[in-house]
Amino acid sequence: MLDTVCWHDGAVRLIDQTRLPGEFVLLDCTTIEQLAEAIEVLRVRGAPAIGVSAAYGLALAARLSSADTHDALLADLQVAHDRLARTRPTAVNLFWALDRMMATARAARDADDPRALLLAEAEAIAVEDIAMCAAMGQHGAELMPAGARILTHCNAGALATVRHGTALAVIRAAHAQGKVAMVYADETRPLLQGARLTAWELHEDGIPVTLLTDNMAAHAMRQGMIDCVVVGADRIAANGDVANKIGTYGVAVLARHHGLPFYVAAPVSTFDFSLASGAGIPIEQRGPDEVRALGGVRTAPEVPVFNPAFDVTPAELVTAIITNAGVFRPPYSESLHGLRAT
């Protein structure tokens, strides 16, 4: 599969994930508004992929700017920064990448070609994402038992990153070692990322996958069908609280009740050490029609809808956090201290 996001001929090229699994469509974003809309409606999604997309977005903004002074260029970039920052509030990688790109822009005051430096920095962020996911996969694979039957929720695969994935990087590495007997993919209501994306990715890669609805996970665990859970993350607080796709918290509670390990896989860019706990993580609220309809077909009356895109899993339910820097275990306030200092 092609990279989820890349720079192509002066545009930010994305795999349009709203068209999967029925169609494989590439979208070239040539304006900041087009890219912002793609992030907002989930044409590109997943915290690392959003971060890389935003980095390329500021490189695109620099190319589109007609500014002839450094200050004017910074002003144009700030406008693009602010628009992209409004797209998805929960995924911290978005803000991490935007801040890194703006720092590069400010430092480029004396550069002959600041636009080239910004594109090079965006490319570096993409390359780092690929390397981080590969390392994450190797670290996580060591935790998987032989013949593992793994439950995952939402999509933390290649489509959520540039390549490999986070949770699916662990699964891919474990599969390469002959450890994976079956992956159970929650469908992930209301937008079915597990059904449309995770099941599609694993099937395309020849990794055994079984799809189940979200409310079947408890029964599968009780029947002894699951050995462990591996999920991704959109933001992790300093104490190890984890924000991930809505429904993750429920899966963690089920795993604890059934005595199953619950692993989170995320790159170091997903940690937000400015937040003491998950209580400070902003939770995106999405539109009601995502719940009142399915595939464009109305399934509910015009009643009020509660539609948070994410929930927060308390650190005490997380067996370990798998990162590119290694595996961290509770108490996270202590084990993550060294990572915080990097």
Q: Which of 3, 76, 234, 272 is catalytic?
A: 234
Task: Give the angle 269-321-15 at the CA atoms, nearest 5°.
Answer: 50
Sign, CA torsion 92/95/99/100? positive
Which one of 99, 133, 167 terminates a domain? 133
SS3 48: helix
Residues 125 and 144 reside in one and the same domain:
no
Identify the band that residue 277 occupies on the pLDDT scale cut at 50, 70 and 90: very high
Query: Does 341 score more than 60 pLDDT?
Result: no
Asked whether the beta carbons of 50 and 162 are under 8 A apart, the reply is no
What tokens were used for 66? 């007609």
Q: How far apart are CA 20 and CA 295, in angstroms?
A: 12
User: Residue 264 maps to which CATH number?
Assistant: 3.40.50.10470
SS3 271: strand
**Is 234 one of the annotated active-site residues of the chain?**
yes
Q: How far apart are CA 166 and CA 168, in angstroms?
A: 5
pLDDT at site 110: 75
- Domain count for the chain, please give it: 2
Residue type, 268: V
Q: How far apart are CA 194 and CA 290, in angstroms?
A: 15
> What angle do the packed helices 70-85 and 92-107 form, to 10 degrees?
180
Q: Do the bridges between strand 11-15 and strand 5-8 make them parallel or antiparallel, or are there none, so unpaired? A: antiparallel
Residues 217 and 312 reside in one and the same domain:
yes
Q: How far apart are CA 240 and CA 279, in angstroms?
A: 11
What tokens were used for 190? 């209301």
Residues 65 and 52 reside in one and the same domain:
yes
Q: How far apart are CA 265 and CA 248, in angstroms?
A: 13
Identify the band that residue 275 occupies on the pLDDT scale cut at 50, 70 and 90: very high
pTM > 0.85: yes or no = yes
Residues 309 and 197 reside in one and the same domain:
yes
C-alpha closest to that of 229 among 311, 313, 163, 308: 313
Helices (H), 155-216: 167-176, 193, 199-204
Residues 192 and 149 reside in one and the same domain:
yes
Which one of 98, 133, 168 terminates a domain? 133
Residues 112 and 212 reside in one and the same domain:
no
Task: Give the angle 17-90-341 at the CA atoms, nearest 5°.
Answer: 115
Asked whether the beta carbons of 201 and 227 are under 8 A apart, the reply is no
Task: Write out the residue range of the structural domain in which residue 311 sits.
Answer: 137-340
- Average pLDDT of the residues of the chain: 96
pLDDT tens for each residue of 221-239: 999 999 999 999 999 999 9
What tokens were used for 145? 């038992």
pLDDT at site 222: 98
DSSP characters over 252-267: HHHHHHTT--EEEE--
Q: What is the DSSP letter of 215?
A: G
Query: Does 1 score more than 80 pLDDT?
Result: no
Residues 325 and 215 reside in one and the same domain:
yes
Q: Do the bridges between strand 262-265 and strand 320-323 make them parallel or antiparallel, or are there none, so unpaired? A: parallel
pLDDT tens for each residue of 167-212: 999 999 999 999 999 999 999 999 999 999 999 999 999 999 999 9
pLDDT at site 342: 60
